[in-house]
Structure 1
């Protein structure tokens, strides 16, 4: 037994003597995989962000469907024409100046900055892992943000439909998307003053939706209601051209919101992206339910339009805090938004403010609510209701005053409203020479 113990001790000494050589050999053979891991991380994140960009892009088809479905058939081509040109104008103006207005690279938080006209070149653009912590490349960043910019203008389109001159709308879109929207956005997302104050807007309840909503409100105030909309104190319904198309449009928007909110994580972080998609969907469902119940109480009928706008209201409402509001609280946010959208629509009609698709109620009213909800429900103790209210007020004043001035100038120069004859007979035949729905019988 003693002999065996001595043999074991000798073997241990031998292993100990050779251990340093083994360690050195293993260390020499080790490979540094950190560069590959970083490259794969960038690729994964960038792929998700490109998918999210595509989802936000498809929202323009959703807006086109909603606006066309809720609009009258005699104006179908006009509505589709505006909705086709809006993303075209939005993306181009954002590339020329909007991107560099929104992200000017403030040295200290400020109100205005500009990094210059145009985009980087293929030689100067930063597509490395160092750009946005490997979240995406420079090109993907631009395109994702450009889709947001075009969305803000599309909100205005739906509200002023069926009586605005096409030329006036296009001029407004160029100025509003190219200058007003990115400057306001820079105050938070570009590291400006609102960001320094602690204002929080995850994906744009205020910076996208309310800004567009304020523009829409200014537009319908200056344009006035459609002919025959308000008669002897009564609200006259103007039936839309296609209820199925409106429903398809809403579901396309819901689908697009997965990219709108999910992409705002700015990476493919599995936990946070999935969390955001859950809060987004729950708020949409609760919003639809709120619109259904409130619409039934108000109109004594099963109003599909209010259910559809309720879904959109819930989506807009949760957008500001989708990453910081717990799922059960997201249901509350969506439900309140669904109730508010109906009350807002009724209120606008009382003031004879004619909004064809309910854009002001959905995007402005519920955008404000969703931003304030961050100050109520956020899991981050640094988010305060007062700061959120201040941010809403600052952005609201800037967006509304800017849009109001643009529309007033357009009204005094090129004119903003079509003639009575064109409005009565439809914009399709007079401005486009073709109708949206044509049945040819032989």
Structure 2
């Protein structure tokens, strides 16, 4: 019996750390999406932001954030502080070593933090972004995580967010919304009459690579949330629902853009795939394959109109569509659990109870995130400053913030054409 238990623990641990590695690789996906969808003169700056929000986030989450998220609950709002995560966290009833759970949760925290980078790209001070990364991983994300996954008040209500449509993605999306709004649009984004002007990214190829990496990484993000390699039926089901939602969302988005713009839009369709992945994440274990297709179809519609509304109506400049993909579609997918969940969903005879609980969770997380990030970004703006100077923005953040050119031609400037020949 003891040998059998050791084998189960070993399999579960291997599964969790393998999925953590897949989720970590999503950091590269975010980096490529954001780099490709923005201009070449800011590529190095975006790379540094995606690198350092993970590095800083890993440290502060280990020191403080993990215990706030998973420590013994204080009134259902916040976990008890345990510096450097030294406790056993026995109250969680983990079937894997604490360290395996810690690294898995660390990469999730990094995902929530890095979403903001794309929405605030091309005009944010690097130092200010580091301050934001520190605080979202220190307190903003862990508190929401505690409400839902740490035994807090939302979990007691029965709120369902299996892998983080709201806890991770909409939290990142609402943070991006507040940051981009306070920051203001890029120079030249809106004309004098308020009309939105397209600022094309420099590499659709990199953007597409990023989406494929993220899709691949999502097979660790969602199935890994079982926290058990022995849950073979659940794992395979989650793989299927995750993939179907993404595929359907991409297809629907392509069709809508083909009809609206007379051509199938590549960048919007790429974001459509991400919208489907974000939307299914809350209920990937709880819905049927047909339900996953329906959720993906709805996300494919929502993403097109959400991005247009944010850009043209709210006049908030989001270069990569992060607010629509993560904020709006994360909230949408979480609500749809109350409709499509096989056990308790509206369409399965469960009435409105689960849908109401899902709505409470969505709005509570939005309120917390928008309030705390408003305070955070306003404080940064009033102290160290949030935005680079206009000249720095025009020249590019690579040169002004880091002293490099990401696409330097390696041609020495002082060699004449005759010498080259």
Same-fold status (TM-score > 0.5): yes
- Aligned match for 2:304, one of 314, 318, 342: 342
**Residue 357 (1) aligns with residue 320 (2):** yes
Alignment of 1:66 onto 2:33: yes
Rate the CA distance shift 1:425–1:133 in 2: closer, same or farther, 3 A.
Answer: closer
- Match of residue 154, structure 2, among 187, 194, 208: 194
Deviation at 1:215, TM superposition (A): 0.3
Which residue is equivalent to 1:241? 202
1:153-179 per-residue CA deviation (whole Å, 9 max, x = no partner) reads 100111000001111111011011111
For residues 90-143 of structure 1, the C-alpha deviation after alignment (integer angstroms, 9 at most, x for no partner) is 111110100000011227x511232321122xxx7589xx97453x21110000
Task: Please identify runs of 4+ aligned residues in structure 1 that moved more than 3 A.
Answer: 124-127, 130-133
Q: Which residue of 2 aligns with 1:3?
A: none
Q: Which residue, 163, 169, 176 being the options, matches 2:123?
A: 163
How many residues align structurally?
402
Contact 2:70 / 2:89 at 8 angstroms: preserved in 1?
Answer: no
| Match of residue 283 from structure 1 | 245
Q: Say yes or no: does 1:36 pair with 2:3.
A: yes
Distance 1:431 1:133 in 2: 44
* 1:285-343 CA distance string (max 9 Å, x none): 01111221122233222210011000000000000000001001101101111111110
Question: Which residue in 2 is equivalent to 1:51?
Answer: 18
CA distance in 1, matches of 2:107, 2:331: 21
Asked if the contact 2:79–2:150 (Cα under 8 Å) also holds between the matched residues in 1, the reply is: no
Contact 2:159/2:357 (<8 A) preserved: yes
- 1:368 aligned to 2:368? no
Match for residue 401 of structure 1? 371
Farther-moved stretch of structure 1 (247-256 vs 231-240):
231-240
CA distance in 1, matches of 2:260, 2:377: 33
**Conserved? CA contact 1:56–1:260, under 8 Å:** yes
Q: Which one of 52, 66, 70 corresponds to residue 103 of structure 1?
A: 70
Equivalent pair of 1:73/1:241 in contact (CA under 8 Å): yes
User: Any conservation in 2 of the 1:103–1:115 contact (CA below 8 Å)?
Assistant: no
Report the Cα distance in structure 1 between the residues aligned to 2:76 and 2:155, rounded to whole angstroms. 10
Name the structure 2 match of 1:26.
Answer: none
Q: 1:173 aligns with which of 121, 133, 153?
A: 133
Q: Using the alignment, how far apart are the partners of 2:202 and 2:263 within structure 1?
A: 20
Equivalents in 2 of 1:88, 1:407: separation in Å?
Answer: 21
Q: Which moved more, 1:290-299 or 1:329-338?
A: 290-299
| Distance in 2, Cα, partners of 1:355 & 1:416 | 16
Correspondence for 1:385 among 348, 352, 355 = 355
Q: Distance in 2 between matches of 1:309 and 1:179?
A: 29
Contact 1:131 1:137 in 2 (8 A): no
Give CA-to-partner distance per residue, 1:252-275, whole Å, 9 cap, x none.
000110110010011111000110
CA distance in 2, matches of 1:371, 1:131: 24
In the TM superposition, 1:71-220 aligns within 5 A as 71-106=38-73, 110-120=76-86, 125=88, 132=93, 134=95, 136-220=96-180
Matches within 5 A, 1:18-33: none
TM-score (norm 2): 0.93
In structure 1, stretches of 5+ residues that fail to align are: 1-33
Moved more, 288-297 or 53-62: 288-297
The structure-2 alpha-carbon separation of the partners of 1:138 and 1:114, relative to structure 1 and needing over 3 Å to count, comes to same
RMSD of Structure 2 on Structure 1 (CA): 1.5
**Is the contact made by 1:209 and 1:367 (CA closer than 8 Å) also made in structure 2?**
yes
Q: Distance in 1 between matches of 2:252 and 2:384?
A: 42
CA distance in 1, matches of 2:99, 2:259: 49
Q: Choose 1 or 2 for highest CA Rg.
A: 1
Which residue does the alignment assign to 1:322?
A: 284
Compute the TM-score of the two structures, normalised by the length of structure 1: 0.88
